[in-house]
Structure 1
Amino acid sequence: MDTTEPGPARVPPAPEDIRVVLNGTTLTVGGLIALADGEAVPAVAPEARERAARSWHTAQRLAAAGRLYGRGTGVGAHRAVTVDADDESAHGLRLLRSHAGGAGALLPARQVRAMLAIRANQLLAGGSGIHPSFVDALTEALRLGVHPAVNEYGAVGTGDLTALAQTGLTLIGERPWLDGRPESRRSGGPVGGPVGGPADAPDGLLDGRPTAGLYDWLDSRPADRRGPGPVGRTPDGAVGEADTGTGTDTGTGNEPVGGGDGAPVARPDNGTGTSSARPLALAPDAPPTGLPAPDAPPTGLPAPDTSSARLPAPVTLRPGDALALLSSNALALAQAALGRHALDVLLRATHAVAALSLAGVSGAAEAYAAPVHALRPYPGAARAAGEVRRLLGLPDRPAGPGRRIQDPYGFRAFPQVHGCALDAGDRLREVVEVEINCASENPVVMPDGTAAYHHGGFFAAPLGLAVEAAGLALLQTAQLSAARLAALGDPRLTGLPAFLAAGPASSSGTMILEYTANSALAELRACAAPASTGHAVLSHGLEEAAGFAGQAARQLLRATDAYATVLACELVVAVRALRLHPVRPPVAAFTVADAALPDGLDDRPLTADVTAAAELLPRLARL
């Protein structure tokens, strides 16, 4: 028993006290998750914003010297249709409006916030030619805790066109902002919450529709925390420092840049708690070239009252900005990053659960011996075996076969199978971190300012295939989890009562958890079907293939949810088996799980046990 005296209670830092540096080159998945969860705020590196400003100037110069796709031309099958110079601003607005055709349920705030952070960081890489005021607005939305309404369906893995068009219309003031912060953060309460809690759900939505009882439109903060008057305006209607349109400004010069590794860094406290970024320019009162404003707000979204809401000021849409904003897979990357984060937590927790199951069946440790894995030096397999040895306090060279010469595959082949999932997760992280830190816009403006190239870098094949590899590997390790669960209920392996039941011989014990786990496993199996086998021919045949990376990323998110249930079922059964052992193992994983899970061996509903086990997984992952 731990007899150490508890230390002083630690108050977690407020989100505004932690910054993640966005510089277009070093954002990590960890830093991105902190921004998506509202546990940190973005800090734009001044040199990166200056790079974006240079890119905008370069694009303007190149467009004036010759046609660039999407600036002097239409898009897709209209690539050869010329856009008159005096129509370019209106063309951009039409492009945003026409491409904002997403459908389906509104996405959770967490996913959309991750998308905003990724797109801002990509723009700072300096290849888009967009005006840097868009970076300012994207990061300001993250600071203020608001996000655009984005629908689930609309992308096929060649750019998240509908999601980013909806974002663009929100940035220029045509669509309302949503407040996606949990209630505790809106009212100044404590930061945080359990994994899978409010930050993972579409806050304020019921079946994808705004619900007044869940949140007030745009901003539910108390009046004393909102801005003084209309959006971004002073009482006389001014906007603060006017945007000259030069794109050469770099902020006030006191923005913290941190260590440059993209991870959260300490924020120097200036006592104000407010952003030092300069005010954003407001969009013109009328659309360019007399284009009418939409007659009504987007379907299902009531017209907002912005008279007292603290929101990013609308951005002026300039020639070329629209396509530059759209040319990205930022949403698919956001979903893949969130899926990878959940995968990482679960795979680390699996080491602890599998170790407890191995102890529960008195399994042989030979399969985990370091010399075995040195012969086939796969990093993931060696790591999986090493983690089980560490958690059970086993030596690198365990002695003897134990009770049996050969254990079932769920125990004997665990390092090999689970190691593939670890390796796939690492590969997915590498791909995501490449994509969120590079310029992939089409056309891409070269950093030396000499050219803009038309290309296919927006085709998300690397991302989609990496996501699918992770999903397939997760299915394999989940199948072993279900197999271990079944083995724990077999008296021929454990020497314990069938299904670990107490009472009469007909008692069912944990029998039903095999069914529950296999039900979740079926969802995993469905999610592992590769989305990349799909096909699409679009835009008059010009785009005759698609990678469907966004669909693959959403499948991974669902798969991780299902795997948490499979693993929780195994944990419940492993702990029960160890409780029936004459001597309970003196290992931290069992001590933690034994204290957290309900007691009792009688036949009873086990839903609460599985729920408690699922909530425990992040803690086991940290052991």
Structure 2
Amino acid sequence: MSRPRLLIDGDTLKLEEILQVSRHEVTVELAPEAAKRVQASRALVDRVAAGDTPSYGINTGFGTLAEVRIDRKDLRDLQRNLILSHACGVGNPLPLPEARVLLLLRANVLAKGFSGIRMETLGLAIDMLNKDVVPVVPERGSVGASGDLAPLAHLALVLIGEGEAFFEGVRMPSKQALEKAGLKPVVLEAKEGLTLINGTQAMCAVGTLTQLRAELLADVADIAGAMTVEGLLGSHKPFLPEIHAVRPHAGQKAVAEHLRRILKGSELVETHVNCSKVQDPYSLRCIPQVHGSAREGLAFARRILEVEVNSGTDNPLVFPDTGNIISGGNFHGQPISLAMDVVAMALTQLSSISERRVEQMVNPSLSGLPAFLAKNSGLNSGFMIAQVTAAALVAESRILSHPASVDSIPSSAGREDHVSMGMTAALKGRQVSEFARSCLAIELLVAAQALDFRQPVNPGKGVLAAYELIRSKVPHMDRDRELHHDISAVTALVESGAIREAVKLATIS
């Protein structure tokens, strides 16, 4: 069965389409109009390479060696040497989904037609995507200055038959991977090496998948918060629309509306209408304000990423309409660096307030429920250490929320005297997203246990849907067991989107 097609043209790629490519769900093709632009751009590079006028990256050295003129006979060696010398990344390889996205995003930038790449080279990159030849790219080594030089150099290695690649998930030398896929490496011509490694695609690859996970987690945070509200017999009044109409932040209003839908139809709320409690703790009462501000941060990051994945980030840029080849700074990763710092901070605050809600449930002096939600507490410790684990994850997330975007270490003998640390910000954001996912899984698990003590009275329809899905995978804990298995099971429900989808279906009006 053939996969759906995705046409890339350098201008219209959507974040959700990137997710499809990360999962190897679509066949990528170059749009016909993009092919024409690519050919025109290459024709200009060929004319300049054949002449004697110095042009950066075409017939000169790189960085602080830009004034060194390269003989025409050495232009191929110049491009090959660039790739070999810059492929000095360290650390674990990017996970396959991120490495696929890296390859897609670089192909999409080349498709804009401002890079001067040959159709043969771009075609190989697209063929690699479709035949599941994925470069082995160490995730450390970029300062986000001339873009992600080291990661992109490792990508480019595979195009010339060097380095390593995964073929259908198996790691091997790139020549072998290409051969198994029925592909042949290319010999880079003038400018092509530089074209392949100047850009922000590594930070965007990590950042885009982190952003999409973060948006999922923002919805799950609302669901977890609503479950806790019901488990603790909290008030629904702080979510009434008139409160948020007088402080109309878009994120705050959206969260309050989401909570009202999830909690609609609650029978539990009727059981404590006349209780003596005047106000709930902030971790319940201020969910719209805290979750809402996180959503505002994520909305900012999405806007930046949507622009960046369709931007020309080469240096120099090739403008065939005017005949100009111009050096600039579009490779600088500052927009992505700042955006990913914001994502990390937004997710950390979602984790932080979630951990406080877990404390509200496991602390008998706050919840009115059995200590640590355990039967025969003392003999059983219940969810005591689940809260400790959440606290540990929040503490580390706070450390990782120190911004990378305000840091800079000059490189290239001072030519690159201000750098973005964009890849650092993206990798931090990815790690924080994984911690947030675990924190929310813990809250969902603990909230389900709290709701067990409220039976047979039902919570709101959305809460009930999430509770029933969790209970289909994880039974009530009536005696101590290895909780890490339960946390893993709920984490899988979160990551797959199953919890969000179950609640969405249950709350459709």
Task: Flag the 1:430–1:403 CA change in 2: closer, same or farther, 3 A.
Answer: farther
Q: Residues 541 and 504 (structure 1 numbering): CA distance in 2 closer, same or farther, change over 3 Å?
A: closer
Q: Secondary structure at the match of 2:313?
A: coil
Query: For the aligned residues, what is the CA RMSD?
Result: 2.2
SS at match of 2:28: strand
Deviation at 1:462, TM superposition (A): 0.5
TM-superposed deviation, 1:498: 1.9
Alignment counterpart, residue 592 of structure 1, candidates 451, 469, 473:
469
Q: How much does 1:337 deviate?
A: 0.7
What pairs with 1:77-96 in structure 2 (closer than 5 Å)?
77-96=64-83
Take 1:542 and 1:533, find their aligned partners in 2: how far apart are those partners? 19
Amino acid at match of 2:160: I
Deviations 1:557-614 (A, max 9, x none): 1111111111111111101111101413252222322333222322333222212221
Residue of structure 2 aligned with 1:33, choices 19, 29, 32 = 19
How do 1:482-497 and structure 2 match up within 5 A?
Answer: 482-497=355-370
Which residue of structure 2 lines up, in the alignment, with residue 71 of structure 1?
58
Q: Does 1:49 align with 2:17?
A: no
Alignment equivalent of 2:163, drawn from 147, 172, 175: 175
CA contact (8 A) 1:346 1:621 kept: no
What whole-Å deviation, never above 9, does each CA across 1:256-300 have from its counterpart, x for those lacking one? xxxxxxxxxxxxxxxxxxxxxxxxxxxxxxxxxxxxxxxxxxxxx
Q: Does 1:512 align with 2:385?
A: yes
CA distance in 2, matches of 1:48, 1:329: 20
Alignment correspondent of 2:255: 384
Q: Which runs of 5+ in 1 are unaligned?
A: 1-13, 182-203, 205-209, 211-216, 218-300
Q: 2:442 aligns with which of 569, 573, 580?
A: 569
Amino acid aligned to 1:619: A
The alpha-carbon distance between structure 1 residues 313 and 401, as it changes in their structure 2 partners (threshold 3 A), is farther
| Equivalence for 2:139 | 152
Match of 1:335 in 2: 206
Conservation of the 8 A alpha-carbon contact between 2:94 and 2:137: yes
Aligned pair 1:544/2:417, yes or no?
yes
Q: Which whole-Å deviations, capped at 9, do the CAs of 1:416-447 have from their partners, x for residues lacking one?
A: 11112212222222211211112121111236
Distance 1:310 1:609 in 2: 40
Which residue is 1:364 aligned to? 235
In 1, Cα distance between equivalents of 2:168 and 2:425:
25
Counterpart amino acid of residue 96 in structure 2: A
SS of equivalent to 1:532: coil
Return the structure number with greater helix share: 2
For each residue in 1:122-176, what CA deviation from the matched residue of structure 2 results, as whole angstroms up to 9, or x when unmatched? 1111111111222211110011011122112221012111222222221122334
CA distance in 1, matches of 2:149, 2:214: 27
Cα gap change, 1:425/1:311 in structure 2, threshold over 3 Å: closer, same or farther?
A: farther
Q: How many percent of aligned residue pairs carry the same amino acid?
A: 31
Tell me, in whole angstroms, the C-alpha distance in 2 between the residues paired with 1:414 and 1:564: 17
Tell me whether 1:601 sits opposite 2:474 in the alignment: no
Residue 94 of structure 1 deviates from its aligned partner by 1.6
Q: Secondary structure at the match of 2:405?
A: helix
What's the offset of the Cα at 1:308? 6.0
Structure 1 residues 172 and 418: CA distance shift in structure 2, 3 A: same
2:95 aligned with 1:108: yes
Structure 2 CA distance for aligned equivalents of residues 484 and 454 of structure 1: 52
Which residue, out of 480, 484, 500, partners 1:621? Answer: 500
Inter-CA distance 439–65: structure 2 relative to 1 (3 Å threshold)? farther
Residue 60 in 1 paired to residue 49 in 2? no
On the 8 A contact 1:146/1:311 being kept in 2, the answer is no
C-alpha distance in 2, partners of 1:57/1:401? 79
CA distance in 1, matches of 2:451, 2:149: 53
* AA of the residue aligned to 2:127: E
Check 1:305–1:613 CA distance in 2 against 1; reply closer, same or farther (3 A cut).
closer
* Residues 350 and 436, structure 2, Cα contact 8 Å, conserved in 1: no
Q: 1:607 to 1:104 in 2, by over 3 A?
A: closer
* 2-structure distance, mates of 1:603, 1:177: 45
Tell me, which stretches of 5 or more residues in structure 2 are unaligned? 504-509
1:479: how far off?
A: 0.5
> How far apart are the structure 2 equivalents of 1:443 and 1:164?
16
| 1:68-88 Cα deviation digits (max 9, x unpaired) | 211121111101111122322
Aligned to 1:278: none
1:98–1:366: structure 2 CA closer, same or farther, 3 Å change rule? same
What residue identity is the alignment partner of 1:58? L
